[in-house]
Each structure stands twice: as C-alpha cells, then as structure tokens.
Structure 1
Amino acid sequence: MALRVIQLVIPSGTSAFKAVNVIQKAGVHTGSVRSLQYGWLAYMLGERTTPRLKQFSKIFSVDGNLASGKGALAQKLADKLGMLYMPEPDTFYLDKMTQEKGPLPVEFNGMCNLEKFYTDPKAADGNSYRLQHWMYTMRLLQYSDAIEHLITTGQGVILERSPFSDMVFLEAMFKQGYIRKECVEHYNEIKGISICEFLPPHLVIYVDVPAEEVQKKLKQSGKSYLQNVPLAYLKSIEDCYKKSFLPQISGTSEVLAYDGSQAQDVDKVAEDIEYLKFEKGPWLEQDDISYHHMRMLVEDKQNVATLTHIPRFLPEITVGAHEYDKLYFAYKSLPGKKYASGYNADIGDKYIWLK
C-alpha cells in the first residue's frame, strides 16, 4: 500500500487548492512550471517567514463526529476570516496532490475502500486498518500542505480534522472490534515517530452533536453505505473526542466547543476567535530559523510520507515482494508515469531533449 507514497517525489500540494483571495507566495526558489525546492541558499539570500505572518496566520482545525456540520462551519469561517479552507481528505487525496485527471484505481491509493468499511467493518482482508493507516498518512500529507501554505504565503488555513485528532477513529474501531490490538500498537508507533515532527493546530473548534442525532442525519444521507452506521461506533467517536483528544490537545492548542445550532452562527464563532489571545503552545517559540527547518520538512512530501511506514510485518498492510513488483510496474505503465513529470512523450510533453 505504500507504493506511491514511498516511490514518488510528490510535488507541492498547495497547488491543489485555491485561496479565496489572491495571496502573494514567497518568491525565492519558486517557478510557475517546475518549482525549485526551497533550501539553504534561499534562506541565505534573505527568504524569511515572520514578515508575512499576520493576525490569522494560523492553523485551525474544525472537529466533530460524522455529519456534525463541521465542513460547513470550516468553509464559512475561512471565508469570514480570509483564510484558506482545506476540506477533509479522502482516500484519493494523493491523486489531487499529483494533479491526476481522475482518481486512480484503489491499488494505487492504499488498497482500501471507505464504502466497504461502513458496509463490512470486520472484513477478513484487513480493509478497516488499511483504511485507517492510509487516512492517517493522507491527513499528515494534508497537514504538511497546510503548514507549507502558511509559512510561504502568510495566509492561515482551516482544516476539517487533522492528524492529531485522527486517533478518535482508531479508538472507536478498536472498541467495536473492527481492528486487532496489534493494529493499535502499530498505529501508535507510527504516530509517535511522525506527529512529533509537526506543531499542533493553533485552535481546535469542536462541533458537539450527540451520536443519536448524527445517526439520524446519516440515515437521511444520499450515500447508502452511511445509512446503517452503528450507533455504538458513533458514540465511541464522541467519547474519544471528549475523554481523550480534547483534554489532551487543550494543553497546547486553544479549544472552542459549540453545539450544532451554535456552530451555525459563524459571526459568533468568529467573534469568539477574535477574543482568543493564543498564548500557549509551541508556535509561540518559533522564529525564522525554526520556520526555515519547518519549511524544509513540509516541502519534502516524500520524507513526510515515509514517516508513517516502518519495517514491521502486519498482515493488514504488508505487501509481499512479488505483489509489490507487480503493482510497481503496473503503475509505471500508466500514461505519464514512466518518467518524471515533464519527461513523458506519451502524454504530450515536448522539448524533452532540452530539459
């Protein structure tokens, strides 16, 4: 399942998103066609982050259960505050980063299926944990995109959930018997060696909608696979948010909580944010030197992705040598994948001999 995130040098992900307002991006080591990667030379030539930072040059995460209205709040709040809205990543987030014309087969996107999880959460082929592991990787990549956008443009970003809150699904899956204890141990290990490389959101906004109400909304959903999500699973997510994630993240991030009706009043939420002083958390300790190292990390998407893959055998996610070899050459046979971007004549790349 690690085929693409290990083998590809993933381009800057911020190009997959467009801000509401035109934002001036850092000009050193950037180009409109093939961007040069930011490095020590750019820093030595005077490229700095702090002069671009304004009042809302921050990372906000809007969290909540399924169908809680967090997406609508995040988007409206981003428009209100002039921030960039990044919707919650799906299993095909990597395709957006690599700017595919359409979603590639699941074989190249974690070999997992969200619909299958909801219809058969205890599938014997290990789909549930493959999905959880893949989604954590996608959230980590998106979070690196958010930080990259922040420090290169100065514009803040509002996300739906983050890799810091991803664990609510892991705990809920385990409580309901969807995944094994060994999967939990594996997840905690990869999260332990990856999340420490990133700073938590400046602010977490929690939309508190009771699990019973969430289930009613899901039953009215146009997606058939969401209409039979067990109430026990939804309650486990709610419990994990309130008993584990929120108490933990409140030590480093500001936290605001609203019920479903309060979350619809965007003006009130924006007003509450205005009153926050943001006087806690590791972001306060950052300077141009640490921002430089942070930018070096988040622009190297291959390095970010490899943080979530360790040499441990786990049947749910381990790909055998022969299967990996087969998948690798299948991927390379796709149009435009044989060589690096810009060097594939089969999709119309021109003047290759001059590059």
Structure 2
Amino acid sequence: MATTTHSPITRAYSSSSKIIVLEGNISAGKTYLSNKLGQSLDYKVFLEPTTTNPYLQQFYAEPKRYALDMQLWLLNQRYNTYLAALDYALNNDNSGVVLDRSMFSDWVFAENCRKEGLISPEGFKQYTAIRDSMLLNVPIPNITLYLNVSPSECLRRIQSIRKRTIPLTYLEGLDICYQEFLKEIKLKGSNVITFDWNQFGEVDDIVTEIKKDISSTSPSLLLSKNIIGNLVKNREDITSTYQTELSFMHKESLSSTSSSAAVVQDKNNA
C-alpha cells in the first residue's frame, strides 16, 4: 500500500522532465527496482556510483579515520551523477530518469556517522558546507520513492544475499535519519511516495503511482540549457573545493596520527 504526500511547493522543472529517485535503507531493493522501473517506463537508469569506492575497505578497517573521506567522495560522485541525469532529462523531453539514491539523501549517511561519532563536529561542518554549495540551485526530483523496510529485515537480506553483516544499530540509525530526510525533501517540493517493501511488492503498482504524478498538470518552472550550463560550471568549482578540502583533511589526519604516535613513544620511553 502506497502513501503519497504532495508538497505545495512547485517543482523546479517541467512536467515533461521526469526525475525519479529511489531511496531506502541498505538492501531495501532499490537497485533491482530501479532497473525494473527503467524497463517499464522506458526511462534511463542511473545507478549509485559506489562500485569503484576507493575508501570502502579502509572504512571497514578504520571507520572513524575514513568516514568523512568516504562520505565526501560519495557526495561528489552522487552530485556528478545527478547532474548527468538532469542533462539527460533536459535533452530527452519524452523520457525521464530513475536514480538509485541521490546527492540529496547522502546526508542520511553523513548524519548517521556524525551521531555515531565517526565524523567529528568539525568534519561534519566541512561536509555540510560542501553539500550546501552543491545543492544551490539544483532542482529537486519530481518523485522521491521510498522503500520502507525494517532495519531487521534489511539485516536479514544483507546476511543472506550479500553474505556479510552490518551492526543492526547502524541500520536503525539510518532508518531514523531517513525519516528526517523525507520530511526535508517533501518541504522542498518533491512528491514523496512510500511503499512497504518488507515483503517486496508489485512493480506495476509503483508504475501506476508514478504515472499519476507524471500526468499532473500542476504549474512548474522550465529547466533551460543555461541553468544546466551553470550547474556544470558550478560542478567544476565545487569539485575543486572538494579536492582541496580532502587534501587538507588527509594532511591533518596524518599530522594527528604522527602526533599521537609521538606521544605514545614518549610515554613508552618515560
């Protein structure tokens, strides 16, 4: 059963430019459903760009040291993917795009890491500043489709399908942060549609809900090539800022590690 929430705020592109983002906890079923929706709607699918994540193994080994580095990398990847999706939607007026997560929900993972103490207050402030710069003037999705799966069911799927495990408390934290995120994206103008996906569901039911939104004639602003051009230019500036910040944090991390090691050595020699 779907729960649909409409925001009174106008979406920032034409009804013919269809941006759909799938959201949900880890192993909720987003990637599979993204591909199925792309086939059913004849939309281009943009999957989450995490397969080449250079920080994943380091994060698993030392989560507190690499959490911010990895989150900034993911934010940058998701930003570029979202701009590519916008560009495609603009230049293919009779089509649309489906994204497996987006730059908007990247906050869910950063906030959860902050709460767990994996990202420091200073690091989170840096993350927020970069994210705010990226979000400036970026249109929100027409539809945010949320697959609602309990943390315990996500854990069962991770263990049975991915053959690994994640602390249940981590998944529970993501679930809480996702509820905050959905309220935010709704207020910004996206149509939030929630599906209970604990037992999975029928793709046709979701397609029906999406088509209801697509057929809406509510007024909206048109995206233009000039806006896309400005976003691309902004992307170059922000990417440069991201690389500078990351380089600075690497130096700070190495300096901190060296200082800590020196202190330990001094104590051992005392």
Change (3 A) 1:261 1:217: closer
CA RMSD, Structure 1 to Structure 2 (Å):
2.7
- Which among 115, 118, 123 is matched to residue 60 of structure 2? 118
Q: How far does residue 265 in structure 1 lie from its aligned partner after superposition?
A: 0.7
Q: Which residue of 2 aligns with 1:69?
A: 29
**8 Å contact from structure 2 (residues 19, 98) kept in 1:** yes
More helix by share: 2
Distance 1:262 1:220, change over 3 A: closer
1:318 and 1:285, CA in 2 relative to 1: closer, same or farther beyond 3 A?
A: farther
Q: Note if 1:237 corresponds to 2:174.
A: yes
Give 1:306's match in structure 2, choosing from 210, 228, 240: 240
Matched, 1:273 2:206: no
Paired residue for 1:284?
220
* Equivalent residue in structure 2 for 1:172, among 103, 108, 112: 112
Cα separation, 2, equivalents of 1:296 and 1:318: 35
CA-to-partner distance for each residue in 1:163-210, whole Å, 9 max, x for gaps?
Answer: 011100001111112111111111111111121131111100000111
- State the one-letter code of the partner of 1:201: P
The match for 1:347 is none
Structure 1 equivalent of residue 257 of structure 2: none
Give 1:135 shift: 0.4
1:161 aligns with 2:101: yes
Q: Cα 1:210–1:265, aligned 2, differ >3 Å: closer, same or farther?
A: same
* CA distance 1:233–1:86, change in 2 (3 Å): same
Q: Per the alignment, do residues 312 and 172 of structure 1 end up closer, same or farther by CA in structure 2, a change over 3 Å counting?
A: closer
TM-score, normalised with respect to structure 1: 0.61
Whole-angstrom CA distance in 1 between matches of 2:251 and 2:39: 39
Structure holding more strand per residue: 2
Report the Cα distance in structure 2 between the residues aligned to 1:310 and 1:204, rounded to whole angstroms.
Answer: 32
Secondary structure in 2 aligned to 1:284?
A: coil
Q: Which residue of 2 aligns with 1:333?
A: none
Q: 2:158 maps to which residue? A: 218
Equivalence map 1:1-355=2 (5 Å): 55=16, 57-90=17-50, 92=52, 112-122=54-64, 126-154=65-93, 155-222=95-162, 227-242=164-179, 244-251=180-187, 252-261=189-198, 263-276=200-213, 284-286=220-222, 290-300=223-233, 302-303=236-237, 305-306=239-240, 308=242, 314-316=248-250
Q: Which amino acid aligns with 2:190?
A: S
Distance 1:319 1:149, change over 3 A: farther
TM-score by length of structure 2 reads: 0.78
**Percent sequence identity over matched residues?**
26
What CA distance in whole angstroms lies between the structure 1 residues aligned with 2:227 and 2:133?
16
Tell me what 2:261 maps to. none
Shift of 1:74: 1.2
Aligned partner of residue 201 in structure 1, secondary structure: coil
Distance of aligned partners of 1:139 and 1:186 in 2 relative to their CA distance in 1, 3 Å threshold: same
Q: Give the whole-Å Cα distance in 2 for the aligned partners of 1:78 and 1:228.
A: 30
Q: Which amino acid aligns with 2:177?
A: C
